[in-house]
Structures are given as structure tokens and as C-alpha cells.
Amino acid sequence: MPLTTKPVEEPNPLLTIGITGHRAIAADPIVTKAVEAAIIKVFRTLANGSTPSKAANPSSTSTRFRLKVISMLAEGADLVGMQAALDCGAELMGVLPFDEQSYREGFAGGPSRAVFDNVLSKLSSIVVLGGIVGDDASYELANSEILDRSDVVIAVWDGDPARGPGGTGDVVHDALERGLPVVVISPQTGTTPTLLGVTGETSLCAGSLKLLHSRARAGSSTSDGLRARVDRSD
């Protein structure tokens, strides 16, 4: 009897998603819920990937991605996105511009600090930079570190220019300059996410996700609950 072997199942490719956006949405629960629902929709679309035509290739199957979500854990869009990522079962990574305690003290209120603490406890890895509180360059460096690690960016953005160095508009511009696709969610209820990239602006759908295929890469998640810290002083 011939020896049969079971095919080795390859892990789904890993797609790393950077989150950026306005802090102000934290002040409006209705907007916060609408944005969270939109982000969850984007996560599910990205995780499902795109389905090739069965007519063109009857043996083909849809490409699914494992998701890793990375942000600065700032109040507002960052934490909303990270909470949505938790709800979708994604791996989480944080990048802080300076030490955790000083960063936490900058939150406006107790509820946001509670969300920050919960998300912080669920991170698989964290990068803590050696920046200075209130220094624009420290936040810009943290944004750059996030883009360095991202395959695609979700931006909760009103479309206006950045109100200061390192603002959401600047992050979107930098991401596009790097060739990263950006999914924009307007901080308004009922807004459909749109995809910005080398082909301009398109709706976010299975077909448009071809832009992401070249950025998907195989990888393995960090062990359960293990938080790998990288302290940077430069």
C-alpha cells in the first residue's frame, strides 16, 4: 500500500494594520460607536481577503489574513481601533513615544485611562521610545515607527490638514508617500470607509484588496500574553 502523507497547512499570511486618527472622537459616544462599527467592518473585510474568480481558477480559494493591529494607544481613534481589534481576535502591538506612566497621565479622563489599561494588558508586544512629554518630534517618531511596521493604515480622519506636527493628516500623507494603502473613515456616522492608494480613491471591497496582496507576509504571533519590550533612547 503506498504511503500517504497529509499536506502541511501553511498559516494564513499576516497583515499588519496601523491605526491613526483624531483624539476628539472620545468626547462623543455616538461618533465613537459609529467609528468602532466601521473599523470592525474594515477588519473583517481585510481578514477575509479577496476571492478569486472560480471560473478563472476552479481550484482556487479565498485568501484569508491573520490580523495584527498597531497604534500609539492614544485617546480617541487609537483606543477605539484597538478595542475593535480585540473584539475581532486580532493580535495587538503598541508603540509609545515615552514611558507608560507619563503617557497614561496625559489622558483627559478616567474612562479613557481604563480602556488604555485594558488594551495595554492585552498587547503581545510593545515598543517604548525614549521621547519627551509634549515634544512634537517624539510623537512624529512614534508615528514613523508604526508606519515602518504596517502593511495598511486605517485613518479616522476628517480630511482636513493636520492641526499640528504629527497630526492625522500628516500621518495619512506620510503613509501614501511610502506607498501604503490607507483606509479612511470619516468621524461622522454612516460614512462608508474608502481606500486610498496608488490607484487613487476606491470603495473598500474584495476587488480593491488586490492592492494589499503584495504586502501580506507570513509570520507568527508572539506567544500568549508575552510582551516583548524594546526601549529606545535615541
Q: In whole angstroms, what is the distance from residue 84 CA to residue 37 CA? A: 8
| Alpha carbon separation from 36 to 41, 57, 87, 104, 212 (Å, rounded) | 9, 36, 10, 22, 22
CB contact at 8 A, 141 and 97: yes
- Asked whether the predicted pLDDT for residue 63 surpasses 90, the reply is no
Average confidence (pLDDT) over 21-29 = 87
**Structural domain containing residue 104:** 14-49+64-231
132 falls within a domain? yes
- pLDDT tier, 107 (very low <50, low <70, confident <90, very high otherwise): confident
CA gyration radius, the chain:
18
Residue 54 lies in a domain: no
Q: What pLDDT does residue 159 have?
A: 83
In a domain, 157, yes or no: yes
- pLDDT of res. 166: 75
Instruction: Specify if 82 maps to a domain.
Output: yes
Tell me, yes or no, whether 180 lies in a domain.
yes
217: domain CATH number? 3.40.50.450
Q: Tell me how many domains the chain contains.
A: 1
| Burial of residue 215 (number of CB atoms within 10 Å: 0-12, 13-18, 19+) | middle
Q: What is the pLDDT of residues 136-186, one digit of tens each?
A: 899 999 999 999 999 999 999 988 887 777 789 999 999 999 989 999 999
| pLDDT recorded at residue 72 | 96
